[in-house]
Amino acid sequence: AQRVTQPEKLLSVFKGAPVELKCNYSYSGSPELFWYVQYSRQRLQLLLRHISRESIKGFTADLNKGETSFHLKKPFAQEEDSAMYYCALSARRGGATNKLIFGTGTLLAVQP
């Protein structure tokens, strides 16, 4: 079964503290994984995709196929990072569909 699990509904940290938002997936094929962020009253925005291996706004995420994880990390949280974060798996069907399967999301609250 295709599934994305984000075990934490809420993660509260202080400004400057490290952040790790957990994401585990279940997928029989070769996964394509994304992190989307939703700031208050705004649209879902792409933050990272695993194939890019880039750092956006200080965030990084490494695909660990052995642990089937794609955790999102940032060494020093900022107040403006407060948002809802969704991990998503792109599921191919005949190579054309690429629907996204979302986790339940983690609300990151960065305290001053």
Contacts to other proteins by CB under 8 A: 32, 34, 36, 42-46, 49-51, 86, 90, 93, 95-105
Question: Under a CB-based contact definition with an 8 Å cutoff, are residues 59 and 74 in contact?
Answer: yes
As a dihedral over the C-alpha atoms of residue 63, residue 64, residue 67, residue 71, rounded to 10 degrees, the angle is: -40
Q: Which is nearer to other proteins, 15 or 92 (CB)?
A: 92
Of 7, 44, 109, 94, nearest in space to 34 by CA: 44
Q: Which is nearer to other proteins, 48 or 77 (CB)?
A: 48
Q: Which is nearer to other proteins, 56 or 73 (CB)?
A: 56
Q: In the complex, what is the shortest distance from the CB of residue 31 to other proteins, in angstroms, rounded to a whole number? A: 9
